[in-house]
Amino acid sequence: AQKVTQAQTEISVVEKEDVTLDCVYETRDTTYYLFWYKQPPSGELVFLIRRNSFDEQNEISGRYSWNFQKSTSSFNFTITASQVVDSAVYFCALNGNTPLVFGKGTRLSVIA
């Protein structure tokens, strides 16, 4: 069975602080993909990144960066210099040979 654990239910930070959202996954599939989605207060799901199991290179996109470590089954997401617009619920998800499995989400509040 596949499982995604986001241990942090809620995080509050002050604007301009860095914040890391943790994601740990379980799967027996050798080929799989990991995702991060953002859900702003408006409710839609915004795709942020997809990473396949054979690519452990870290990725940076502007203020966002992702650290994929297969050895610890983790795919953590860091926001540098957080902004109020980053306030949202963030979901980590896993797709192997079964449909996408989501973590329970982390609600991030960035306070001005």
Partner 1 sequence: IAGITQAPTSQILAAGRRMTLRCTQDMRHNAMYWYRQDLGLGLRLIHYSNTAGTTGKGEVPDGYSVSRANTDDFPLTLASAVPSQTSVYFCASRPDRAPNYGYTFGSGTRLTVV
Which residues are near partner 1 by CB under 8 A? Answer: 6, 9, 29, 31-33, 35, 43-45, 47, 50, 52, 91, 95-97, 99-105
Cβ 15 to partner 1 shortest distance, Å: 25
Amino acid at 81: A
Cβ 27 to partner 1 shortest distance, Å: 10
Distance of CA 107 to the CA centre of its chain: 11
Residue-wise burial string across 65-80, b where 16 or more C-beta atoms lie within 10 A, e elsewhere: bbebeeeebbbbbbbe
For partner 1, the closer of residues 82 and 105 by Cβ is 105
